[in-house]
Amino acid sequence: MRRIALPGLITLIAVALLALLAFGVANDGTNSSLDAEVTSGHFPEAPTAHVSLPLLTSSGSESLASLRGHVVMVSFFAGWCDGCQADAGVVESAERRLEKAGGTVIGVTYDDSSSDALSYMRYYHLSFPVLHDANGNLASAFGVDGVPETFIINAQGKVVALRRYQLVQAWVNKTLDRVLARAA
């Protein structure tokens, strides 16, 4: 009986661990809801759009809702993030393109001090406005759990594209072509 019980117990534990792993993979991430909506073509309103956050480079504040009517690229970043540093030129290029079309890039600090974020902005000569998300509520509403993460919001205030990792210029160009064509 003992010869059967021990292998049976080991098999039962292995099956339980595999089931737990499968459950964890199937339910991975808090950002799957927004991702799923955008992927399916049901573009949700930008989360917490009416929440106003302080601007990093001035004494004012800004909300995503105040930018309705314009295409906005929201870039969550941190000065310590290697991927964000690699993204800096792509994001600034998007800002120049959006500015010509009446839109903008809005940077949002993620788990970063104001002084580090300002140093990052100066070092990479970034010209777009940056919101200081000190408590992380905006990042949480977008399901951000790391940086860089980027969201494209159309003129109606809906999230129409997102990228949860480092940007590629081709993705930015193709996405902005599509969103700006629909805004025209």
User: Are 100 and 128 members of one domain?
Assistant: yes
User: Are 76 and 139 members of one domain?
Assistant: yes
Average pLDDT (118-145) is 93
User: Are 8 and 61 members of one domain?
Assistant: no
Domain boundaries, position 59: 32-183
Tell me what pLDDT residue 14 has.
Answer: 63
Q: How many domains does the chain have?
A: 2
User: Are 39 and 100 members of one domain?
Assistant: yes
Q: Mean pLDDT score of the chain, rounded to an integer?
A: 88
- pLDDT one-digit tens code per residue, 38-55: 999 999 999 999 999 999
User: Are 90 and 50 members of one domain?
Assistant: yes
Segments of the chain assigned E as strands: 53-54, 61-62, 72-77, 104-109, 130-131, 149-153, 159-163
User: Are 57 and 119 members of one domain?
Assistant: yes
| Of 150, 66, 69, residue with least CA distance to 108 | 150
> Is the per-residue pLDDT at 142 higher than 70?
yes
81 and 120 in contact (C-beta within 8 Å)? Answer: no
Q: How confident is the model at residue 89 (pLDDT cuts 50, 70, 90)?
A: very high
**Cα–chain center distance at 70:** 18
Is the backbone peptide bond immediately before 148 cis, with ω within 30 degrees of 0? Answer: yes
56 and 130 in contact (C-beta within 8 Å)? Answer: yes
User: Are 148 and 60 members of one domain?
Assistant: yes
User: Are 21 and 98 members of one domain?
Assistant: no
Q: What is the pTM of this model?
A: 0.81
CATH number reported for the structural domain that contains residue 155 in this entry: 3.40.30.10
User: Are 111 and 169 members of one domain?
Assistant: yes
- pLDDT one-digit tens code per residue, 146-161: 999 999 999 999 999 9
